[in-house]
């Protein structure tokens, strides 16, 4: 089994790759397990702390370059497409966001279509496909209303993957991800990056800035749940999925104040004192445009699960990063 992970040097790509290496084989629903022979990690950046394993192949390049993409998809069986310019960066640089998030995806899909092997394909979308005036609870049938360039690009990407699957060019499935916290590593340019930094940095004894009000609501999931969802989304059979290939994932609804309270319960008040509240109207506007309550019935019926609460997410981050409090 040959696997391609675009955005492979990002934190989700790395964690997914490590999990696949540990599994050694993967059983698609209704099929016998197949050995994982090769995992191509493709990204615009070389990355660091990547798995040191002979089954890993690292390729650096531009996802929108047809020649580069053609060189990495030959004989591929499974594709996880995680490569993306994140929300604030896509909003600040429209051309870059379009090149990577839209033209890069279309280039990958067209290359696979011309190759004709019809691999399984998981596309990572997000709830930024919604915005503006929303119902109190977003569900599987809520119409897409993106209010950012990033959200628009992800919404178009969802429809592209669904239609390429309908036409039989790929066996595609779309996972609509909640905001992921706590992300390891360093802050990035995503509007949501502070959701991780206000937990991660104080746990490391470092100050962190929260740019939104304490009562700001958010819909979250953990890195552990995302890796599980990536695997489940790939292994589900076409018969189980049917014609509807877009799956909004379950998560937990909470507020920033409750996140900080959970951090204090787990790690103590000295840690939360490292958080400074410095309002940023732009970040507040972007975050408030996202859904904060989601009813993911179809995903739950398909076996996708949410975290118990934010306390569990903080504890999982401490365990996974081997922090000593």
Catalytic residues: 150
The answer to whether residues 214 and 282 touch, using CB atoms and an 8 Å cutoff, is no
Using omega within 30 degrees of 0 as the cis cutoff, is the peptide bond preceding 213 cis? no
- List residues bridging with 299 in a β-sheet: none
For 266, the enclosing helix (H) or strand (E) is: helix 256-267
- List residues bridging with 246 in a β-sheet: 174
Which token pair is 54? 């002979």
CA 137 to chain centre: 21
CA 261 to chain centre: 25
Calculated CA dihedral for residues 150, 155, 161, 163, nearest 10 degrees: -150
For the chain, counts of helices (H) and of strands (E):
14, 16
Where do we find the tokens 């899909």?
109
- List residues bridging with 315 in a β-sheet: none
Q: What is the largest CA-CA distance in the chain?
A: 58
Where are any strands of DSSP class E within 214-325? 217-221, 246-248, 252-255, 275-277, 294-295
Q: Report how far residue 53's alpha carbon sits from residue 122's, in angstroms, rounded to the nearest whole number.
A: 23
């Amino acid at each position: 089994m040959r696997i391609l992970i675009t955005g492979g040097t990002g934190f989700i790509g790395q964690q997914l790759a490590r999990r696949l290496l540990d599994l050694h084989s993967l059983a698609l629903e209704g099929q016998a397990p197949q050995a994982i022979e090769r995992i191509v990690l493709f990204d615009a950046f070389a990355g660091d702390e990547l798995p040191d394993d002979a089954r890993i192949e690292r390729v650096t390049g531009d996802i929108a370059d047809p020649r580069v993409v053609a060189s990495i998809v030959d004989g591929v069986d499974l594709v996880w497409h995680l490569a993306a310019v994140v929300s604030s960066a896509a909003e600040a640089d429209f051309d870059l966001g379009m090149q990577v998030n839209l033209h890069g995806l279309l280039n990958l899909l067209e290359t696979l279509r011309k190759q004709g092997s019809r691999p399984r394909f998981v596309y990572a979308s997000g709830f930024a496909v919604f915005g503006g005036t929303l119902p109190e609870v977003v569900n599987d049938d809520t119409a897409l209303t993106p209010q950012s360039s990033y959200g628009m690009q992800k919404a178009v990407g969802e429809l592209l993957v669904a239609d390429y699957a309908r036409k039989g060019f790929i066996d595609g499935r779309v996972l609509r991800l909640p905001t992921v916290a706590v992300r390891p590593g360093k802050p990035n340019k995503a509007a949501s990056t502070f959701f991780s930094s206000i937990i991660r940095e104080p746990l490391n004894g470092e100050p962190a800035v929260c740019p939104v009000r304490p009562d700001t609501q958010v819909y979250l999931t953990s890195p552990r749940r995302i890796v599980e969802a990536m695997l489940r989304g790939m292994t589900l059979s076409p018969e189980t999925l049917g014609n509807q290939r877009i799956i909004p994932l379950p998560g937990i609804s909470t507020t920033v104040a409750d996140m900080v309270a959970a951090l204090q319960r787990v790690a103590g008040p000295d840690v939360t004192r490292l958080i400074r509240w410095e309002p940023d109207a732009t970040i507040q506007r972007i975050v408030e445009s996202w859904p904060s309550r989601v009813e993911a019935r179809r995903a739950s019926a398909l076996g996708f699960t949410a975290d118990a609460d934010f306390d569990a997410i903080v504890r999982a981050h401490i365990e996974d990063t081997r922090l000593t409090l």
